Chain A
């Protein structure tokens, strides 16, 4: 399983806090997973300002996702 999480505005727009993808998605990059989810109807992910994290670290969309990983899509942060 790959656990995919959505935060803040993305969570509201998509209507859920996350989804689970089966291991057939392992080996894809974060960018490819984002694209697949957009094609499945999660149009909120079509946004250049989105930042991605892999296993709780910000990273570039070229990184490859493995089975058991946690992926997060986040809007720009607004704390402080």
Chain B
């Protein structure tokens, strides 16, 4: 199950719901990504996440499907937030259940690694430099993220 939403999510509620969908499982791995407040040399006061409605959901469902083909998973939950977010806000959740921990660990990492290079989200940071001047900039994609995703090929 995937969700793209502006509202925050409750980790414990998501965990309990995933657990209810995973009564035969022996392992649940939950990953949460948070907004960091520093990038390069300036302080990030907030960020705005843009996405491509419709395509985002297609891509996320496709990634979950690929994960289910590679590992014996019982249930998968993906939430990605869009809109304005602030430092330390929750931005993404991936939850995976399986009979054994290795599949759950690996599948959750796979989903995040592919999401970062394939799901059509873009971050725009609102920054403040040491002189206190405000600015905006689109975040550049990282080569390290592409390498991380390519390692699953």
Task: Flag if A78 contacts B58 (CB, 8 Å).
Answer: no
Task: Flag if A56 contacts B50 (CB, 8 Å).
Answer: no
Complex Cα distance, B121 from A76, in Å, reads 9
Contact of B92 among A5, A56, A80 (CB under 8 A): A80
Does A79 sit within 8 A of B, measured CB to CB? Answer: yes
Hey, which chain B residues are within 8 Å of A7, CB to CB?
Answer: 50, 52, 120, 122
Does A9 sit within 8 A of B, measured CB to CB? Answer: yes
Task: Flag if A78 contacts B52 (CB, 8 Å).
Answer: no
Contact of A77 among B33, B58, B112, B117 (CB under 8 A): B117
Complex Cα distance, B118 from A41, in Å, reads 28
Task: Flag if A75 contacts B122 (CB, 8 Å).
Answer: yes
A interface footprint on B106-129 (CB within 8 Å = 1, 0 otherwise): 000000100111111111100000
Given A7-B120, A9-B122, do A78 and B54 touch, yes or no (CB 8 Å)?
no
Does A42 sit within 8 A of B, measured CB to CB? Answer: no
Shortest Cβ distance from B57 into A: residue: A56
Given A7-B120, A56-B54, do A76 and B112 touch, yes or no (CB 8 Å)?
no
Hey, which chain B residues are within 8 Å of A78, CB to CB?
Answer: 116, 121-123, 138-141
Complex Cα distance, B58 from A53, in Å, reads 12
Shortest Cβ distance from B50 into A: residue: A8
Hey, which chain A residues are within 8 Å of B120, CB to CB?
Answer: 7, 53, 74, 77, 79
Can you list 25 A-B pairs with a CB-CB distance of less than 8 A? Answer: A5-B52, A7-B52, A7-B122, A8-B122, A8-B138, A9-B138, A49-B141, A56-B54, A57-B58, A72-B55, A74-B52, A75-B141, A76-B141, A77-B116, A77-B118, A77-B120, A77-B121, A78-B121, A78-B123, A78-B138, A79-B92, A79-B123, A80-B112, A80-B121, A80-B145
Q: Which residues of A contact B (CB under 8 A)?
A: 5, 7-9, 12, 49, 53, 56-58, 72, 74-80
